[in-house]
Amino acid sequence: MGGKQFIDACAAPRNKTIHLAVVMKGEGKIIACELNKDRVKRLEHTTNLAGVTNVEVLHENFMNLNPEDELYSKVRTILLDLSCSGSRIVADRLDYLLPSHSSGNGDGDDVGRLHKPAAFQEKALIHALSCKLEFNNSGEGIMVTCKPQIWNVWQYELVKAD
C-alpha cells in the first residue's frame, strides 16, 4: 500500500479504518470522514488505542469535501461503506406479523425504507466518481453494501426514468 492515500467516506463506528491502517503498515494516509460527533470521538479513541498513526479523522460529511482542495490531491482510493438498504431493519421490525401486512394493506413504508438509503448511496457514489483525484490511470474505488437488493432499487429507478 506504500504511500497511498485513502478517503474512508463513512468511517465510524466499524473497525475497517483501523484494519486498513494496519494493512498499510503505518505508511500512507487515511482520511476518515464521519458526520456524527459521538462516532468521531469513538473512532479517535479506537485509533489511539490501536496505536494507529496514519489516520486523520475528520468530523465532516464526505459529500461536503471539495475534490479540488489540495488536501486531497494525493488521494488515489475512496472507500464507500455506506448505510445499508434498510431491508434488515424492515425484517427486524416484525411488520410481517401484523394482519395488515399479510392482507396486503401495508402503507408502502417498506419501499420508502429502501429508496432513501439508495438515493444517498447514489449521491455518494456520484460524488466519489466526480472527484478529480490523482488517479494516474490506476485509481481505485471500493464500494461496500450489505445487501444486494440496493442494486435492484437503482435498476428500478433507472427503468422508471426511461
Residue of 10, 84, 131, 146 marked active site: 146
Q: How many CA atoms lie within 13 A of 45 on its CB side?
A: 9
DSSP 3-state of 136: coil
Q: What does the block give as the cell for 112? A: 420508502
Single-letter amino acid, residue 47? T
Measure the CA dihedral 75/146/152/122, to 10°. Answer: -30
Q: Catalytic site residue 10?
A: no
Annotated binding site: 34, 81
Q: How many CA atoms lie within 13 A of 110 on its CB side?
A: 15
Annotated binding site for S-adenosyl-L-methionine: 34, 81
Which residues are identified as catalytic?
Answer: 146
